[in-house]
Structure 1
């Protein structure tokens, strides 16, 4: 279950004094000791365990609001092994239900559909309104008009799932006693309160089907150290290294901020896009990068917003759903070239990471991966993410024997 941490966060200035790093779990004494064991990146039993202890225990990204733009749009997804339905029930509301007919438990659809009023099960033609209530169950009493009683209908509602929509994303919570979404994500919502996420317009979206463990995707996203070596086109080394560790909530939201990133790095488009709301002057130059645990990787600049959302399919299979958003005023022909340039750069950066993700995945089959050495000056944020994983999943901190799959 998502729980807020009471541990105070301490920051330490870098040697230059320009930036700060968090005082995290790494010291010289931790060199050669892995926080998450290597088998957790390759073993299917470990993956199944994480699905229950991580993805079923709190809020997780489940989809994008733009996947179901119109009333009656229905999209099936799977979270923590559970088939779910994302439903646009009204113009302003998205509901999520378990994708299971209340009669025999058959999934109602395996493909995105658009319905006018009802979602129907093909097996016995039970149908449900968009609010999940049972609309009809033909021949329920063996009579042509033998519908269930009002009391029975009330008990045969599609089973709802705790859901929230924020920043164009749909989140679900499958735990038995879900805490409100804002109690989990509230500190990040407050940090970005100057952004008007109701103005988001989809610039572009791509899917990356990767033969890697989901945790490596997060760790790479939070690895600021690799930017000047893997992504030299982002600008001079000094700009790439000008980054502060930022811990918003130690057990849920970790990442970093480039205080001058929007001006210090190379430009992604020639023309200034409209800002995403009433952006204060001190935020017009910065870039924020966070993992909203466990599977939403978010990147915010004043005039664009990027999400890489992770859909773990197995221990060695993850689908990344990457979307780039701009302000709705940028939906204008005069900004088309700038948006095209922006998304081309962002997608290319993600593509550059893929060969390294595959090599990181291959390395997890070596016993050496139980003795990796995250360094305190660069990897505290990655270590904090791994610590959250280890705490949720119950992994040890290096004392476990390596389990290398054949």
Structure 2
């Protein structure tokens, strides 16, 4: 069991002070394995983008908690998610995105329709054209995975969900009701290999304190005083920034104004929201950021204790796909990906720091780190709920308090 350290300075009755998770929670393989099981296999998590399988007949393999899954868009345009495993001998069915429709196993050429049904079994009874009886065929279809689509993202649950993804996302969907997230255009997408634990990526995303120091283009430190922490639900935490500093820095977005052709808004945005940034984590692995004229997702795929794959996508309104907005889209993307690039060496150094024995004497600051503390509590609580005596997590002795 990870030893959780208590300290002063509560938020919603939860302590803020000494780091709640020990340094070993960011470096230990046993902790990482338990997180996969107790967090990523036991709740709704981000698994991909809907544009990855935008066209009917397309499919794309993805991985969640190390489990191979397959996103599929059937001929009728319905999104489906299956375990990416052939029902014959258990080989991974597909390792590359495809638009060819039917799914064919590379081992014995069993073939599956896009609805998961089995449709081809060469020489089933050693005769050409033979196949199983209908009741056997029905039992050998691909195994489905509970899933849901929202705001260009695909969420899956590898267990047996007791609530829906819609319930999880409802607080954010209600807050973002003025934004049209049903008709989006992908401005740009990039994949990052990050040399850091996934939790450090989340914590950095939720850390507003570092913005003027690591990202000086957002403005002076005094602008941070406008940031407000927001806890929409147990699983949706973050904050908002009423000044929209990064939009002003880009000089191209509608919120920030500036030269060039301003991007169209994401729907009928009330005046009161036209100068606001929302920055939220949908626990555990979807980091979302919205302004009136763009929407950004940084989704995390934990690969190892010290390695995380980021899938970062920037979206604008559908009408911004027009060539008239080419420069504005490029400028916006350059700014947002530039911010992410600035964070990479910081994340690498944070990960390196977790190997120091001094890392267990870190101290969260109540005036700035309330949301970080809440995220750490969410993680610790999820691990504690799933831990058993037969599968103990790597422990860490409580650090001595700073004098």
TM-score when scaled to structure 1?
0.88
What is the rounded CA distance, in whole Å, between the counterparts of 1:73 and 1:178 in structure 2?
Answer: 30
Shift of 1:268: 3.9
Higher RCO (CA-CA < 8 Å; seq separation 6+): 1
* Secondary structure in 1 matching 2:115: coil
Per the alignment, residue 349 of structure 2 pairs with 359
What is the rounded CA distance, in whole Å, between the counterparts of 2:75 and 2:299 in structure 1?
Answer: 25
TM-score when scaled to structure 2?
0.89
What is the rounded CA distance, in whole Å, between the counterparts of 2:100 and 2:246 in structure 1?
Answer: 47
Q: Could you give the per-residue CA deviations for residues 40-82 of structure 1, whole angstroms, max 9, x where no partner exists?
A: 1111111111000010011111111111221121111111121
Shift of 1:331: 0.8
Per the alignment, residue 255 of structure 1 pairs with 238
How do 1:189-200 and structure 2 match up within 5 A? 189-200=173-184
Task: Report the number of matched residues.
Answer: 377
- When residues 190 and 92 of structure 1 are mapped into structure 2, their CA distance, relative to the original with a 3 A threshold, is farther
Runs of 5+ unmatched residues, structure 1: 1-11, 13-20
What is the rounded CA distance, in whole Å, between the counterparts of 2:355 and 2:185 in structure 1?
Answer: 42
Per the alignment, residue 63 of structure 2 pairs with 78
Per the alignment, residue 326 of structure 1 pairs with 316
Q: Is the 8 A contact 2:68 2:92 kept in 1?
A: yes
Per the alignment, residue 73 of structure 2 pairs with 88
Per the alignment, residue 140 of structure 1 pairs with 124
How do 1:135-174 and structure 2 match up within 5 A? 135-174=119-158
Per the alignment, residue 112 of structure 1 pairs with 97
Shift of 1:24: 5.6
Per the alignment, residue 265 of structure 2 pairs with 275
- When residues 171 and 57 of structure 1 are mapped into structure 2, their CA distance, relative to the original with a 3 A threshold, is same
What is the rounded CA distance, in whole Å, between the counterparts of 1:169 and 1:24 in structure 2?
Answer: 32
Per the alignment, residue 3 of structure 2 pairs with none
Deviates more, 1:256-265 or 1:80-89: 256-265
- When residues 115 and 24 of structure 1 are mapped into structure 2, their CA distance, relative to the original with a 3 A threshold, is farther
- When residues 90 and 179 of structure 1 are mapped into structure 2, their CA distance, relative to the original with a 3 A threshold, is farther
What is the rounded CA distance, in whole Å, between the counterparts of 1:382 and 1:161 in structure 2?
Answer: 31
Aligned CA-pair RMSD: 2.2
Q: Is the 8 A contact 2:55 2:77 kept in 1?
A: no
Shift of 1:178: 4.7
What is the rounded CA distance, in whole Å, between the counterparts of 1:140 and 1:402 in structure 2?
Answer: 61
**Moved >3 Å (runs of 4+):** 21-24, 262-265
Q: Identify the match of residue 34 of structure 1 among 2, 19, 26.
A: 19
Per the alignment, residue 160 of structure 2 pairs with 176
Deviates more, 1:234-243 or 1:343-352: 234-243
What is the rounded CA distance, in whole Å, between the counterparts of 1:56 and 1:263 in structure 2?
Answer: 35
* Secondary structure in 2 matching 1:378: coil
Per the alignment, residue 230 of structure 2 pairs with 246
Shift of 1:345: 0.7
Shift of 1:138: 2.0
* Secondary structure in 2 matching 1:217: helix
- When residues 175 and 370 of structure 1 are mapped into structure 2, their CA distance, relative to the original with a 3 A threshold, is same
Runs of 5+ unmatched residues, structure 2: 1-8, 253-258
